[in-house]
Structure 1
Amino acid sequence: MDQLPNRILVFAGSARSGSFNKRLARLAAGRVEAAGGQATFIDLRDYPIPLYDGDLEREQGIPAPARHLKDVLAEHSGLIVVSPEYNGFITPLLKNTLDWLSRPDGDQDGLALFRNRVGCVLSASPGGLGGMRSLALARQLLTNLGVTVLPDQLAVPGAAKAFTDDGELADSGARERLDQICHRLVETLDRLNPPAGR
């Protein structure tokens, strides 16, 4: 891997303020820190990117929020994507964000930003499957872009009742699984790109 600092970018494919997936993303960022990693949680609401349009790109270039988000991703060697499920698919927000991030920029091809990144996918849903169908699609999309997606994943069903009042996962098994996933991601990045002094 490139000698990037082993920082992990964490975000959910939802802009909704009360998003269950944002809650799960924040928990994942905390677990990364507890495992000895460096996590950056971002809210895609802070990066308002228009729907991808080739004419818009040709006439105006990559929108400033997308360019800023490219810069943020470039500073991270790991990625945790928490994907809501809309009608069995990933959200338009997540797809659109990744579409813009994968566009060529100057002399850099669009996929360069994703190569040598290691990631994992999580999901929470009010339904009984916990967003499992969206996880498969998020995994496929990230893999297509060049991210090495770890096999570990977590789907949290019944999300309306899955979190305690203080934002933690109510189920001990889900908490343990999240711990394991985040620890493995940090461990994998450290093995691929040992931090200085280790």
Structure 2
Amino acid sequence: MTQPKLLAIAGSTRRDSFNQRLLNIAAEAAGDAGAAVTMINLRDFNLPLYDEDLEASAFPAEADALRAQFIAHDGFLIASPEYNGSVSGVLKNAIDWASRPRPGETMVALPAFRGKVAGIMSASLSPFGGLRGLAHLRQILGTIQTVVATEQVAVPFANKAFDGPSLVDPMPKQLIPVMVARVAFLAQALRPDGLAAA
């Protein structure tokens, strides 16, 4: 049985981002759960804001490269800050570009997302841990045919929840391995050969 391949993405490009720290912890746990994890940084993709005219005239090479990363993986680990009650703009823009069809594909093909699984998480300074943003992210991913694991991780008071790269808040610390194990299992099961190989 081949390892499920997970793409790990933070919705914050800030240096020393709490969400990047959270993602690093989840990615390590996913490796322990038997998944092969690829970590990317959205800062490395020079994506313009999504624009249909730009898409029609010259689909950005960076958007194609990002889309190829999504296509090449069985599932995703996504950590996003909450911006004004929703997901970050940089994450939404990345998802918008990756969801667009390319020549020969129908509008509903969605090869970067359809039939894949995501584990979502958020670290926030607020007492709610980014829950409103997670609700929006779950809706967005569901709309583009991605299965979102029932478990999710919300880290409130993020400025106090970490000790350097380590998470010290006990509740999300205990939930992370549960969530990533679910994502790894579903990513394997949802592959075309997954049920036969499981």
Question: TM-score, normalised on structure 2?
Answer: 0.91
Amino acid at match of 2:131: M
The CA deviation at 1:5 is 5.8
Unaligned runs of 5+ in 2: none
Instruction: Map 1:1-198 onto structure 2 (within 5 A).
Output: 6-60=4-58, 62-109=59-106, 111-165=110-164, 167-193=165-191, 194=194
Number of aligned residues: 194
Q: Map Cα deviations across residues 138-161 of structure 1 (whole Å, 9 max, x no partner).
A: 000000011011111011001111
Question: TM-score, normalised on structure 1?
Answer: 0.91
The CA deviation at 1:173 is 2.3
Whether the 8 Å CA contact 1:5–1:77 is kept in 2: the answer is no
Identity, in percent, stands at 39
Q: Map Cα deviations across residues 155-175 of structure 1 (whole Å, 9 max, x no partner).
A: 10011111112x111022221
The CA deviation at 1:112 is 2.6
Whether the 8 Å CA contact 2:68–2:112 is kept in 1: the answer is no
Whether the 8 Å CA contact 1:5–1:76 is kept in 2: the answer is no
The CA deviation at 1:81 is 1.4
Whether the 8 Å CA contact 2:78–2:120 is kept in 1: the answer is yes
Whether the 8 Å CA contact 2:79–2:122 is kept in 1: the answer is yes
Counterparts of 1:48 and 1:16 in 2: how far apart (Å)?
15
Counterparts of 1:189 and 1:101 in 2: how far apart (Å)?
19
Counterparts of 2:177 and 2:195 in 1: how far apart (Å)?
21
Unaligned runs of 5+ in 1: none
